[in-house]
Structures are given as structure tokens and as C-alpha cells.
Structure 1
Amino acid sequence: MKRLIRWCFSVLLISPVLLPVARADLQEVTFLMPAPPNLPGFAPWIIAQQKGYYAQLGLRVNWVTAKGGVDVAKQVGAGNALFGAASGDVPIIVRANGVPVRNVAVLGTHGYTLLATDAAQHIGSIEQLRGKTITVMSYSDSLYYALLASLRKASVDKSEVNIQAAGPAGVWQLLADGKADAMAGSPDWVVNAQEAGRALQLIPQAQMFDGMAQSILASDEAIAQHPELVQKMVEGTLMGLRDILQDPAQAAKTFVAAVPAYQGKEGKVEQILALYTQYVYGQQERLGEIQPERVAQSVRFFSEEGIVKSTLPVDEYFTNRFIGTLPAR
């Protein structure tokens, strides 16, 4: 495996207690995150590490921060890491351009984009967003694409709304400050805006484009040459996801034990995990399973929007060979 390109990444140590005690029998692997992995949105991985699931399976995982999901995919495809996390839609964007990665597990039944509005404006539908200002993190990430797809589903042209790219902090701060009417963001940002004092209302999930949740990416080379490592990474991560689904309150405590910055904020973390459970994780029959029809739906959207110039057969973007029979509850 190629040496990590140091200037592309920064390693973020979550907490000394998060990393398992090094043992000679642990296989060291690198896992790329699209953002610093100390956020509640990455709780399945953090909890799996904190509870020693990876170590039990023989892995010592080093978390490295990349520059978004597409960068994760490119670096995994180049062999700079075995695994990475990104939106499940990312392989659709990059694979046609020769980046050999695919989803090996998806952490939920729905996309993780929530469309939150200022409750004082009583916006209950996407159609009512015409003429309104909507914040996104950037014009090149999966949250923005999910917003475009949701607007299209409601027959609202993107020219009929004012979409502002505000960065990872501004995306929720502008909404909290009353400078935007709505936000396309993750559950973490919804809770941040509410904590800042802004009452929010969520557009019903049925109106949203049902994209894909966060996924575990692996390269074709890793799948072919290191299937046992892929299996262990998938299994360990899904055990962390299972813990959240079974007991969100305890999962929040485990997360806080791993991430000292959240000490005393167990209630906030539990609130965020409750939103992920309700709107993202959902009810998978088999944890981590990727539904071909969901992938096909995303392929159609990205193609029709011109985001990708060519597409591949649906089964080129994922594999379920590493998904076991781990129950959600």
C-alpha cells in the first residue's frame, strides 16, 4: 500500500482512551474521514473504536481526516488508505472518472440531508421555499446535491430559490441568526441551530429525495486482495451502529467518553443520535445492506443533472458481500 501523502491529510486523535492498546496481533489500517471524526455524525465508528470492537476483530484503526467525501474516494482509490467514509452517492460521482471505489456498507435507509426551516415562517413544504434563502455547506458536496434533487422532486427550479454556500459553521449559523430561511444540513447542524435559540421545523421526509446514507468505501484492490480486512471493518462499524439503535442514551455516553470536547453535553449528543436514528438509520432488515433500487435512483438523478457524464451498471457501485445478518435491534 502506498505511503500516505502527508500534506493531504491531518490525523485527528479523538481521545487517548479511544485508541485500543496496541498489540502485536492487531492489523493496523488507515480509515479516511471526510471531516474531523470527533462529530456525532461519525458516532458508529467512534463507538466501535471506544468499545473495542475493531480490536476484538484484530484491527487497529488510525483515523485520518481528508478534504470531503470525494477526496476520501480519490485517496482510497489511489491506495493511500484501505477504507473511507463518504455519502453512499460518492462512488456514482467518481467511479465513472476512473476512481475504483465502491460502497461495501451503507449506514442507514435514508440520506442524511435534513431540510430545516425557521419555524416562525411556518414552511411546511418544499414548494413554499420559492423565493427563500437556503444555506448549504458548499456547492460540491452531497448535501447540496440532495437539496437539488428534493427541489426537482417538488417541481421547484433551483433558480426559484436563493441557495448560499456558507461553510460548515455558517450553514447553520445563518439560519440560527435569522439570516436564512432554511438549511440543507445534517442532524448535527439542526441541533446546533436549535441550541443557539432558533426554533426549527423539518420538511417531512416523504417530500425529500431519498438519497443514500453514509457509507464505508473500499477500493476494488482492497476488496480483491484484503477481503478479510474489509469484512472486519464492516462488521466492527455495524456493531457500533447497532449500539446506537439499541440504546441511544448509552451510546451518547460512550461517545462522550471518547470525545472529551462533549463532556457534559450527553443530552445534546443523544438528541443528535435520535435524529439520525429517526431520519437516517431507519429500519434496515440487515444492517449495512445496500439496496440496488436506491443506487439506481441516485444514478438517474446525477445523470439527468449532468453531474456525471457517463454511468455504469448499478452493481458496479457497491457490493453486499460483506454484509452479514447483524440485526438492528
Structure 2
Amino acid sequence: MKHSFLGFGLAAAMAVSGAAASAQTALTYLFPAPDFLPAFAPFQLALGKGYYEEAGLDVTFRIGQGGADVAAQVAVGNADLGGGMGDTSMIVRANGLPIQGVAVLGGQGLTHIAWRDDSGITGPADFGGQSIGVIGFQDTAYYNLLAVLAANGMSRSDADIQGLGSGGLIQNMIAGSVSVMSGVPEWIVAVEDAGVPLTVIPARDVFPAQAQAILASDAMIAENPEAVRGFVQATIRAIEDIIADPHQAAADYVQIVDRHAENVEQIERIMRFYVDSVYAPAEGRPLGAFDEAQLQEIQDFYMANEIIATAVPISDVYTNDFVTE
């Protein structure tokens, strides 16, 4: 009798477990670059710490071929959600892709401008004639660089801007082949860790540069709003963990993404950079929320500099409906 009771209990537990598993909503998230990059730490932490599962989601990560590919795949439904920048939706929506930003992952901007201390540069006003590295010419960091130049009375033709890819950008900054870079925190930390002193400023000092964003199609928002809400809030929860304790977050992250296990100190430095200069909340809006006035300013600059050919209603490129309960 005892054996039968235990067997019944096990069967019941398995049935409950199976029911819980079947209740999970499958969701695919597409990264624009390899998912082991520290920029994507909030997603890895949210997955590894069970935050997506608690939100009722069975999340699968996939890797796309850059931001344009992510936007296209999300727009046609080949991925449920994807990663981009806070300005991505205004660029691709003008090309007919019905994409919106559903969260921006920080109150500050991702792009930072750094220059070698041995270059003689004292600030962006000295960028004329300098060799400046970016990863490419269809990238937000490049567009943000153009805004920094414009704020100092210069255009793209006033500097030697080179598209080098992420690896080439780091290598050329270390070698001194370029004196200035427009990029993201982990690249800057990599150059500094190679023994190159840098001066760093946020592009946001002169332009409303945006952080990373979670992108969704209009159809996904209409048909699966609770899945979108669950993913957004679980990801923001992971960012809040990083803000609260970067040291512990770095330790947790390298357990989840073990290729970084030997670099936990560098990962912590990168996370502290993100906490101070990217994730830091903007006054007057919750973490994750877009600022419509900032997006309008970006679109105006992009139109004036022929980065985009068609303006779209700014209210169509984002929603803040999912960032709070």
C-alpha cells in the first residue's frame, strides 16, 4: 500500500509538472550579434536566473546577421522579439517594416566616444583631420559620431572615418592606427585593459543617443501582449540586479556564460560602466521607457543628414505600455 501511495504521489507530481511546462509560452529572441557579448548580459541573466520562466515564457535565443536582419526577421514573424537600438524602429519602419521598440535598456545612451590620451586631442572640437574608427557605416555608433561632429561644426568629410568591424576597431585603437573610436563600453574596456589610456565621453553629452532596445512587430504586440510584457519586465528585472550589485551580477553571468569564466574582473568593470553610463535611469521616466521628444530629435537629425529618407510618426515607433506593471 505504501508503495502504491508513493507511486500515485509521483504520478501526480509529474502531472502537475507537465501541466506547468505546457503552460509556458514559447518565445524566440533574436540577437543582432553573438549572444555571449557582455552587452547582452541582462538577457543571459534573466534566462539563467529563471526570470523568463517565472514570467511564463520558454525563451530560445537565436543569433541574427546584424540589426537590419533582426528587424526583418521580427517583422515577418520568423522571431517573436529581437534586439536593436532605440532608434532602429524609426529607420526600418520608414522602409515598410512594422516594428516598434517595446523597451529601451537604459536611461542613457550606449554609444561612447573615446580617444587616446597620447593623441593630443582635448575634446571633440579637435576631431578634424583625425582617424576615427567605427564598426561600419550602417551602425548607430556611426550615426551618433556624425551628431558629435555636427555639434562641433564638422561633417563626415572633416575626419578620416574608417569602418573596421568590432575586432579591427579594438586592434587599431590599441595599435594607434586610429586615435578616436565611437563604440560601446566593452570595446573601450578592452582597449584600456591593453594598457592604452583613454578619455571617454558619452555621445549623449551632445545628442540623445539611445541604449539597446527590445523590438517587436505590430502583430506580436497585438496578438501576444502578455508575452511581450513578461519578456520586457523579466529583462528589466535583470538590469536592476546589475545596477544593485555589479560584482554579484558579474559572478552570476560568468557562471551562465562560462566562456567568460576567466575574465570575471573585466566583466565586472564592463558592468559597472553600463551601470554608470548606460543603465542609469533618466529623471522622470522609469527604466525601460522611451522619451518621445528625444526620438523626434533623432529623427530630425537623421532626416537632415540623409540617414533616412522618410519620416514616420514618432508615436508609431515605440510603446511604453510594457515597461511597468
TM-score, normalising length from structure 2?
0.90
Could you tell me how far apart the structure 1 residues matched to 2:80 and 2:147 are?
31
Does 2:117 correspond to 1:119?
yes
Does 2:235 correspond to 1:237?
yes
Instruction: Summarize the alignment of residues 225-264 of structure 1 with structure 2, pairs less than 5 Å apart.
Output: 225-264=223-262
Structure 1 residue matching 2:22: 3-state secondary structure: coil
Instruction: Summarize the alignment of residues 138-177 of structure 1 with structure 2, pairs less than 5 Å apart.
Output: 138-177=136-175
1:52 to 50, 53, 71: 50
Contact kept, 8 Å, 1:126 with 1:207, in 2: the verdict is no
Moved more, 177-186 or 284-293: 284-293
Letter in 2 for 1:286: P
The residue number in structure 2 matching 1:310 is 310
Rg comparison, structure with higher value:
2
Deviation at 1:24, TM superposition (A): 2.9
The residue number in structure 2 matching 1:293 is 293
- After superposition, give the CA deviation of every residue in 1:187-242 in whole Å (9 maximum; x if it has no partner): 01001111222111113656442211100000000000111111111111111111
Contact kept, 8 Å, 1:126 with 1:203, in 2: the verdict is no
Could you tell me how far apart the structure 1 residues matched to 2:66 and 2:206 are?
23
User: Which blocks of at least 5 consecutive residues in structure 1 are unaligned?
Assistant: 1-21
**Number of residue pairs aligned between Structure 1 and Structure 2:** 304
Deviation at 1:52, TM superposition (A): 0.5
Could you tell me how far apart the structure 2 residues matched to 1:282 and 1:267 are?
21
User: Which blocks of at least 5 consecutive residues in structure 2 are unaligned?
Assistant: 1-19
Contact kept, 8 Å, 1:205 with 1:279, in 2: the verdict is no
Structure 2 residue matching 1:140: 3-state secondary structure: coil
Could you tell me how far apart the structure 1 residues matched to 2:203 and 2:226 are?
37
Letter in 2 for 1:238: I
2:91 to 84, 90, 93: 93
Could you tell me how far apart the structure 1 residues matched to 2:103 and 2:187 are?
24
Structure 2 residue matching 1:265: 3-state secondary structure: helix
Structure with the largest fraction of helix: 2
Contact kept, 8 Å, 2:100 with 2:216, in 1: the verdict is yes
Structure 2 residue matching 1:203: 3-state secondary structure: strand
Structure 1 residue matching 2:97: 3-state secondary structure: coil
Could you tell me how far apart the structure 2 residues matched to 1:26 and 1:206 are?
39
Counterparts in 2 of 1:80 and 1:180: CA distance versus 1, 3 Å: same
TM-score, normalising length from structure 1?
0.89
